[in-house]
Structure 1
Amino acid sequence: MKYISLRNTAFEGQNSVYLLDGDGPTTLVDTGVATPDVERDLRDALGDYDTTFADIDRVLVTHWHEDHAGLVARIQAESGCDVVAHEADAPLVSGDTAAYAAMDEKRRDLLAAWGTPAAKQEELAQTFGAHDDLGGEEADVTAVTDGDTVRAGDHEVEVVHLPGHAKGLSAFFLEREGRREAFVGDAILPKYTPNVGGADVRVDRPLATYLASLDRIVDLDLDRAWPGHRGPIIDPSGRARDIATHHDERTERVLDAVETRGTATAWEVSADLFGELHSIHILHGPGEAYAHLDHLARDGVLDATSDGYRLAD
């Protein structure tokens, strides 16, 4: 397995891409964004291993976000490779315009429901408009589901559905050199905590869904995880527990914000959590606050009203 680091100035810093070769299909896990600089970086990195886009037989996509799936169409155009993604994300990875339109409509509805100011919604729209080129072109995608197996290089990998950050986010699990490993995308990251609530507005009950995925990562008992950003995670179960603890602590901060304000929208709580928001964080900030507020409301701790959330009687 070869590890490739790609620059990414649009989102969370370096992207991690993985090349698996050998007797089986030459396979990439994720691709990076579809910008000329990143495409050149990927071509050069593959060239160091005597591999070109035309040599790629399969691309495994951990989730639909552009910094993971952006270049799949260009690779497929040169190689005719099989592009594999979870069935929940396959339409977005393929560039299905109806799927994107439905997601965009839901995002607009939620931004309004979260109390996001009109000026901030316009700033977010301009951010998306400035990054229209990150997603690349349309591609043919093979949809898989939890428990399916796929050949990648010398290995048989298993699809492990870990929704939360994205509806179809999936790890690709394998046993290699006596170790239990997985390519986990953004399910867990070594430095940041993956956003829930805003990163994919299609996810129902985003916090509960993500916490269940963290539990599943613990149950996998991995020796090593290969994330979608930065270097390997050597204690994946410990990292998953740390992220769950982080969300426990954030829940307390959300409750404090609601108690102080009396009634609070997701946008107002996000201001208390994160301060002034710009760019993509205009979506991620209130989305994260909403994930916690919705979780607490469903548990009966908060009441959801037309003006926001307040402590339940």
Structure 2
Amino acid sequence: MERLSLSNSAFEGDNNAYLFADGSETVLIDTGDWLDTTREQLEAAFAERDLSLADVDRIFLTHWHGDHVGLADAIQAESGAEVYAHSADAPLVEGDEDAWEAMYDRQQQYFEQWGMPEAKRDVLVERMAGEVTSSESPTVTPFEDGDRFSFNGHELEVVHTSGHAAGLSMFETTLDGQREVFSGDVLLPVYTPNVGGADVRVDHPLEKYLRALQGIVDADYDRAWPGHRDPIDDPAGRAQYIIDHHEERSWRVLDALDRKGPCDTWTVSDDLFGELEDIHILHGPGESYAHLEHLERAGTVVREGSDYRLAEGVSDELEARDEQRWALEY
């Protein structure tokens, strides 16, 4: 297996595509972005190995986001490769108009509920309209959690890890006698993947993402191969760090409500992240919503229309926590 680092139009750092060309089949996990420069990089990497895109037999996609699936249609057109994605994401990858229309409608509903200002909506809609990946889409074979695939003496097992995206999936395998996992955007070495905004189709996104992270902690893999940047040598430790990060962020959400009183998601997002531009206009309130929704179902926060407020007694808990912190620091 070889990791191919590819430039992209995203902010998480270079994408990874993973190449298996050590047997009778040529297999890719993710394909990189749709940009011409990305295709040139992938073609050059293949040429260095005396391969071409026409040699690809199978493509396994971690999820539907364009920086992971962008070249799937072009590769399939050249090679006839079979393209696999989780059943929850397959319609989007295939370009199903009804699936995309439902996505856009739900985004608009959330923009209204979150209290996103009209000017910011206009910027965001223009940004998203510029992400046309291709005029064509691949034909997709859907998979489910627990499905297994074999090639070249390797075996991949699907681990469905919804949260960042509805169909986001990891692929477990054994490499050189070690239990390893291709983690896509479930586990990244630098950024904490966005939940709530990156895929508005996901119900209870933070709960599902935390469950996925706990699964990584429990699995205690030897290494993770993420969708962006370098391999992660302590996947369980990184997953626990992100769990702790989200716990701390929940406290920050509660603190914002305590200081500002009842307010909408956009106001909480502004308190957490400040002025937002570009795709962060979606991710900031999306992440804030994911926490508010999680806290609401926990009974810590009460929603009234589009506004949220602290449940009775929570303000006292916040004060006690601040006092405890002061005692530890001083």
Unmatched tracts of structure 2, length 5 or more: 313-330
Residue equivalent to 1:184: 183
Q: Is the 8 A contact 2:265 2:306 kept in 1?
A: no
Aligned-partner Cα distance in 2 for 1:304–1:217: 32
Is 1:169 aligned to 2:168, yes or no? yes
Q: CA deviation at 1:31?
A: 0.7
Decide which moves more: 281-290 or 22-31. Answer: 22-31
Aligned-partner Cα distance in 2 for 1:36–1:42: 10
Aligned-partner Cα distance in 2 for 1:96–1:153: 33
Q: Is the 8 A contact 1:71 1:136 kept in 2?
A: no
Q: CA deviation at 1:307?
A: 4.2
Secondary structure, in 3 states, of the residue corresponding to 1:160? strand
Q: Is the 8 A contact 2:34 2:66 kept in 1?
A: yes
Q: CA deviation at 1:136?
A: 5.8
Higher RCO (Cα < 8 Å, 6 or more apart): 1
Q: Is the 8 A contact 1:197 1:288 kept in 2?
A: yes
Aligned-partner Cα distance in 2 for 1:75–1:96: 19
Aligned-partner Cα distance in 1 for 2:134–2:201: 18
Secondary structure, in 3 states, of the residue corresponding to 1:142? strand
Q: CA deviation at 1:49?
A: 1.5
Which letter does structure 1 place at the counterpart of 2:269?
Answer: S
Q: Is the 8 A contact 2:164 2:199 kept in 1?
A: yes
Of structures 1 and 2, the larger Rg is shown by 2
Is 1:247 aligned to 2:236, yes or no? no
CA 1:135–1:283: 2 relative to 1, 3 Å? farther
Decide which moves more: 238-247 or 31-40. Answer: 31-40
CA offsets 1:257-296 (integer angstroms, 9 cap, x no match):
0111111211111111111001111100000000000000
Q: CA deviation at 1:153?
A: 3.6
Q: Quick one: percent identity of the two aligned structures?
A: 52
TM-score (norm 1): 0.97
Is 1:34 aligned to 2:34, yes or no? yes
Residue equivalent to 1:268: 267
CA 1:59–1:35: 2 relative to 1, 3 Å? same
Decide which moves more: 135-144 or 163-172. Answer: 135-144
Is 1:115 aligned to 2:111, yes or no? no
Residue equivalent to 2:91: 91
Q: CA deviation at 1:48?
A: 1.4
Aligned-partner Cα distance in 1 for 2:167–2:10: 22
Secondary structure, in 3 states, of the residue corresponding to 2:224? strand
Unmatched tracts of structure 1, length 5 or more: none
Residue equivalent to 1:58: 58
Aligned-partner Cα distance in 1 for 2:271–2:236: 30
* CA RMSD after TM alignment: 1.1
Q: Where does structure 1 differ by over 6 angstroms across 4 or more consecutive aligned residues?
A: none
CA offsets 1:117-149 (integer angstroms, 9 cap, x no match):
0110110001012222x3562111000001100
Q: CA deviation at 1:9?
A: 3.1
Residue equivalent to 1:20: 20
Which letter does structure 1 place at the counterpart of 2:164?
Answer: H
After superposition, residues 1-313 of structure 1 pair within 5 angstroms as 1-132=1-132, 134=133, 137-313=136-312
Aligned-partner Cα distance in 2 for 1:95–1:311: 41
Q: CA deviation at 1:25?
A: 2.3
Aligned-partner Cα distance in 2 for 1:94–1:13: 26
CA 1:307–1:79: 2 relative to 1, 3 Å? closer
Which letter does structure 1 place at the counterpart of 2:45?
Answer: A
Which letter does structure 1 place at the counterpart of 2:278?
Answer: S
CA offsets 1:13-40 (integer angstroms, 9 cap, x no match):
2001110122242100101111111111
Decide which moves more: 55-64 or 259-268. Answer: 259-268
Aligned-partner Cα distance in 1 for 2:218–2:134: 33
Aligned-partner Cα distance in 2 for 1:97–1:162: 25
Q: Is the 8 A contact 2:58 2:83 kept in 1?
A: yes
